[in-house]
């Protein structure tokens, strides 16, 4: 476990002293001992892994894990490979310990007592800063620091007031004041688009947009801090509320009344959504209509999108013609696009190249570079709308759903500002 954490730059002490507690099962050989060893080892192993996961996905809660487990077989191949590898590692570890406990080592009560005293001593020492880098109790850390936050949404509200900023604020203001300035609105929630560590890095990603600046009436960009899953980012932008669960079927229907598409429909807009994945994860075909998105297009409705790696879905760069078609489908149109291919682990197909990671201070084989290149590709595809005369007057909003999850923490610090997403707002002349 320590080797995994060091490889990815995740914090974990060299030694997890919790495993000393398993000495109690070395007292005598019995089938109940083996069962208790299995359960205890599983709990300690699970918490050890969970705390590593929380370094990458700090917003995960226990009910979210249970919900996401339903979609394991549609997850990216790397995620499944890691889970299978950890499962096999756990089984091997259990049988090794069981065989040692039953055939090799039988400890006396005195010896077990000494080990437990050593555990308590190390636990006390682990409170010291120098010691905690070498050893600590992951179980004690979880109980002290993580248990409450992981369970807080299980018995609490499903939706609450938004504390973070959001990119749709100007649009909401125009709607509420009946001062909408365009009949064509394209709103994009961009998968894993984070604010970069340095301005020149984001400028390189957005270079395909800025090279058409003479075709833009205006362009603005910025960033704000936020955390959460993809559906949390979607709900933040469409409905201006903080979603505390991933299972959208728990959301009270009253929470959808003030969502942007519903408000726009009241002012005569036709509403559309495009998402190149299927309808299962986060149940978009359930909650999109409640939010006011009347015409919805998912993977089976978008054959022109080809096949890309992320969740076996469509390729965003091939969906731009569909976006254009929907923008032109009605006199007043609102098109919502949830992108897909920039999803972790950032290894999807590259159709458009041109971004030099090394010039931006990143290794070419890093996950951060993969994210940069896929984002550059997306904005290159999006930029083709700017030079299209039929897109005159289209107002475009782009915002990240959440900061890009990164297992390589060291590279992440060179590439992204912690916990910030980026946004872009422009209007085509």
pLDDT above 60 (res 4): no
Give tens-digit pLDDT for 83-94: 899 999 999 999
Same-domain check for residues 208 and 347:
yes
Lowest mean per-residue pLDDT among 60-69, 266-275, 281-290, 322-331: 60-69
Indicate yes or no: pTM above 0.85. Answer: no
Range(s) of the domain holding residue 97: 2-151
Same-domain check for residues 335 and 213:
yes
pLDDT above 70 (res 149): no
3-state DSSP assignment of residue 241: strand
pLDDT of residue 212: 97
Q: Tokens 């872009």 sit at which residue?
A: 424
Cα distance from N-terminal residue to C-terminal residue, the chain: 55
Q: By the 8 A CB rule, do 154 and 61 touch?
A: yes
Lowest mean per-residue pLDDT among 9-13, 160-164, 278-282, 351-355: 9-13
- What is the average per-residue pLDDT within 302-313? 92
Residue 61's pLDDT band (cuts 50, 70, 90): confident
Q: How many domains does the chain have?
A: 2
pLDDT above 90 (res 400): yes
CB count, 10 Å around CB of 4? Answer: 17
Q: Domain containing 365 — which CATH number? A: 3.40.720.10
Same-domain check for residues 173 and 291:
yes
pLDDT above 70 (res 290): yes
Residue 80's pLDDT band (cuts 50, 70, 90): confident
Residue 156's pLDDT band (cuts 50, 70, 90): low
414: tokens are 């060179």
Same-domain check for residues 145 and 178:
no
Residues 6+ apart with CB under 8 A from 226: 164, 165, 233, 236, 402, 403, 419, 420, 421
pLDDT of residue 158: 87
Residues 145 and 142: their CA atoms lie apart, in Å, by 5
Same-domain check for residues 362 and 382:
yes
pLDDT above 50 (res 48): yes
Percent of the chain at pLDDT exceeding 70: 93
- What is the average per-residue pLDDT within 305-328? 95
Same-domain check for residues 26 and 86:
yes
Same-domain check for residues 120 and 264:
no
Same-domain check for residues 96 and 165:
no
Nearest residue to 412 via CA among 43, 122, 76, 11: 11
pLDDT above 90 (res 59): no
pLDDT of residue 72: 80
Same-domain check for residues 325 and 386:
yes
pLDDT of residue 24: 85
Residue 229's pLDDT band (cuts 50, 70, 90): very high
Give tens-digit pLDDT for 105-120: 778 888 889 999 999 9
pLDDT of residue 409: 66
Q: What is the mean pLDDT of the chain?
A: 89
Same-domain check for residues 65 and 185:
no
pLDDT above 80 (res 285): yes
pLDDT above 60 (res 371): yes
Q: Tell me which of 91, 118, 151 is where a domain ends.
A: 151
pLDDT of residue 7: 47
Same-domain check for residues 322 and 245:
yes
pLDDT above 90 (res 240): yes
pLDDT of residue 406: 82
Same-domain check for residues 64 and 173:
no
Q: Tell me which of 85, 118, 151 is where a domain ends.
A: 151
Residue 217's pLDDT band (cuts 50, 70, 90): very high
Q: Tell me which of 151, 170, 202 is where a domain ends.
A: 151
Run of H or E residues at 37: helix 31-56
């Amino acid at each position: 476990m320590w080797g995994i954490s060091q490889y990815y730059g995740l914090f974990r002490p060299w030694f997890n002293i919790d495993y000393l507690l398993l000495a109690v099962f070395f007292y005598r050989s019995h089938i109940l001992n083996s069962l208790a060893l299995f359960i205890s080892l599983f709990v300690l192993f699970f918490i050890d892994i969970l705390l590593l996961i929380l370094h990458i996905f700090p917003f995960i809660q226990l009910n979210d894990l249970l919900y996401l487990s339903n979609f394991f077989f549609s997850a990216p191949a790397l995620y499944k490979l890691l889970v299978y590898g950890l499962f096999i590692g756990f089984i091997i570890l259990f049988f090794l310990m069981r065989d040692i406990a039953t055939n090799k080592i039988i400890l006396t009560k005195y010896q077990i007592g000494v080990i437990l005293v050593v555990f308590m001593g190390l636990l006390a020492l682990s409170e010291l800063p120098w010691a905690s880098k070498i050893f600590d109790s992951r179980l004690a850390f979880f109980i002290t620091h993580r248990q409450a936050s992981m369970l807080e949404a299980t018995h609490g509200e499903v939706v609450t007031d938004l504390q973070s900023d959001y990119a749709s604020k100007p649009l909401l203001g125009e709607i509420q004041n009946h001062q909408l300035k365009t009949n064509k609105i394209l709103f994009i929630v961009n998968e894993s688009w984070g604010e970069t560590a340095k301005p020149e890095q984001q400028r390189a990603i957005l270079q395909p947009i800025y090279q058409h600046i003479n075709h833009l009436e205006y362009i603005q960009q910025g960033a704000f801090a936020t955390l959460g899953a993809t559906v949390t980012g979607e709900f933040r932008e469409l409905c201006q509320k903080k979603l505390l669960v991933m299972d959208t079927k728990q959301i009270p229907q009253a929470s959808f009344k003030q969502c942007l598409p519903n408000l726009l429909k009241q002012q005569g807009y036709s509403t559309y959504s495009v998402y190149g994945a299927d309808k299962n994860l986060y149940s978009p075909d359930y909650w999109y209509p409640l939010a006011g998105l009347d015409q919805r297009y998912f993977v089976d409705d978008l054959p022109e999108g080809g096949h890309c790696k992320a969740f076996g879905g469509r390729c965003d760069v091939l969906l731009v013609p569909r976006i254009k078609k929907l923008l032109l489908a009605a006199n007043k149109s609102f098109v919502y696009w949830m992108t897909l291919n920039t999803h972790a682990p950032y290894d999807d197909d590259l159709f458009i190249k041109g971004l030099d990671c090394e010039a931006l201070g990143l290794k070419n084989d890093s996950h951060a570079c993969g994210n940069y290149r896929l984002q550059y590709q997306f904005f290159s595809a999006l930029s083709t709308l700017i030079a299209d005369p039929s897109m005159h007057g289209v107002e475009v909003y782009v915002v990240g759903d959440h900061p890009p999850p990164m297992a390589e923490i060291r590279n992440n610090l060179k590439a992204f500002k912690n916990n910030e997403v980026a946004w872009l707002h422009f209007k085509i002349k």
